[in-house]
Amino acid sequence: MSYHEFWLERWNSEDTPWHQEKPEELLLKHFSASRGARVLVPLCGKSLDMLWLSHQGYQVVGIELSELAGKSFFKDHNLEFQKISRPPFKMLKTEKIEIFCGDFFELSPEILGPIDAIYDRAALIALKPELRESYIKILKRLVQKSNPAKFEWLLIGRQNQVRDLEGPPYDLSEDDLKTLCGEDFIVEVLDRVERESRRDPEHKVFETVFRLSHVET
């Protein structure tokens, strides 16, 4: 089964245990981009985090493979939306929230427009490790023209207490992230929390909140 088929099947069968019924508490605690910033939410699903961000005065731009998930987000919150063709994407749009439906790996600055901040709760850890480098390269291109002084990238990584659990989600450590980001971003640890493992309740999951910022040149 391909990458696309796997995730589309999960949404089509409503097999989405990662979806949270309330905004992520680590987002509420640590996100500090300037109000009015245009915030990219990769692999957004129908996350309530997007609604919270819009209520805080941010312009939200989600990227999601499943059009079903994007439409469900707006319908769940009784939000009327426009459907606009933005090849190779379909864009679902309200005044404060846009969701580009399609393959993240086809994104470009020309399609997406300017981005001031990134919020990644479960995108990077959802990808197989061999896709991570391509994911980071695309994000680097998307934020290349952002204002370094105002830019914020909040990312949540995780490590399972049981190291041999098969993903997704996949483990992501501080060292992993520093290796991926190379010399372009400073990686700062903001917080670490312990949570129960959804797949193995007898063991714990450790989540780490990272802030990435441009290296000053």
Residue 16 lies in a domain: no
**Domain harbouring 131, CATH code:** 3.40.50.150
Per-residue pLDDT at 203 exceeds 80: no
pLDDT confidence tier of residue 163, bands split at 50, 70 and 90: low
Beta-bridge partners for 185: 214
Between 198 and 195, residue with greater pLDDT: 195
Share of the chain above pLDDT 90, in %: 75
As for how many domains the chain has, the answer is: 1
Residue 130 lies in a domain: yes
Residue 63 contacts residue 104 (beta carbons within 8 Å): yes
Q: State mean pLDDT over 75-101.
A: 98
Burial of 194 (0-12, 13-18, 19+ CB in 10 A): exposed
Compute the average pLDDT of residues 150-172.
85
Is the residue at 151 inside a domain?
Answer: yes
Please give the mean pLDDT across all residues of the chain.
92
- Domain residues for 204? 3-11+23-214
